[in-house]
Structure 1
Amino acid sequence: MHAHRGFHTPPALPHDEVAEALERALRERSREAEAEAADALVGSALNDDDREFVEHWCVEVGTRAAPGSPLLGLAGLCLGHTARRFRRLGEEALVLVESLAARAEADPSDVDGRALDGWDDARSFLHLW
């Protein structure tokens, strides 16, 4: 029997809840904390109208998560979502999404392939081809 994974779009949470969930995941590295952080980050990237807030937390996660953490690839993907939604990224976020993609290409056990999707989105929506 195969388990079917559905696509889940979490809502944007209040900023203090997002910050708390992400800080907890960066401290604890438990599956539960990472799952809550993933929902918080994705919900913000897809639904929060504060681009600077979303970018800040993507950069925090993308620079502070341990090598091999699933949150690294997710941070890159969420920066791609941010580029798509707002048609811009700050310089630090742009450098990070490219760096995470390069790491994913070099070693998928370090950063998963979602970072490559984020970089593709950023290049496409920011016309960086």
Structure 2
Amino acid sequence: MHAPRRFENPPALSHDVVMETLERALRDRVHEPAAASVLVGTALNDEEQTFVEHWCVEVGTRAAPGSPLLGLTGLCLGHTARRFGRLSDEALALAESLAARAEADPTDVDGRALDGFDDVRSFLHRW
């Protein structure tokens, strides 16, 4: 018998831990699973929008093609738009770009970027 799976949102961590974890994953893909948890926890719980956006942009522009962090970054930008009601022009352009890449080639950027961009459109009411 399988134990029931339980989902829990990761917590926000200190900015130093976030920076160290994400930089490590951008240098070596073996660290991407830890970075994914940190990125989601930051997007859902960190109170500094500029910090959240900065790291979404860093990950979304520096992660290797095909990295699961790319689609996740798009999703996290959707969370950020929902939480704060706005995105910087740079973050908005990245969310749109990641969604376009996901639509064109899901092996490059996974479909979570499309879900995130749907959230961006819903919560920013620009479309």
State if a TM-score over 0.5 links the two structures.
Answer: yes
Aligned to 1:114: 112
For the residues of structure 2 that align with 1:62 and 1:5, how far apart are their CA atoms?
29
- SS at the partner of 2:6? coil
- SS at the partner of 1:44? helix
CA spacing shift, 1:29–1:116, aligned 2, 3 Å: same
Post-superposition shift, 1:7?
A: 2.4
CA distances 1:95-114 after superposition (whole Å, capped 9, x unpaired): 00000000000000000000
- Count, aligned residues: 127
Aligned 1:88-127 pairs, distance under 5 A: 88-127=86-125
1:23 aligns with 2:15: no
Amino acid at match of 2:112: R
Post-superposition shift, 1:4?
A: 6.1
Structure 1: 5+ residue stretches without partners: none
- SS at the partner of 2:50? helix
CA spacing shift, 1:9–1:95, aligned 2, 3 Å: same
CA spacing shift, 1:3–1:107, aligned 2, 3 Å: farther
- Return structure 1 stretches of 4+ with deviation > 4 angstroms: 1-5
For the residues of structure 1 that align with 2:4 and 2:71, how far apart are their CA atoms?
22
Task: Quote the RMSD (CA, aligned, Å).
Answer: 1.4
CA distances 1:4-35 after superposition (whole Å, capped 9, x unpaired): 653230000000000000000000111xx111
Aligned to 1:6: 6
Aligned to 2:41: 43
Amino acid at match of 1:7: F
CA distances 1:16-67 after superposition (whole Å, capped 9, x unpaired): 000000000000111xx11110111100100000000000000000000000
Structure 2: 5+ residue stretches without partners: none
TM-score normalised over the length of structure 2? 0.96
TM-score normalised over the length of structure 1? 0.94
- Identical aligned residues as a percent: 76
Amino acid at match of 1:74: L
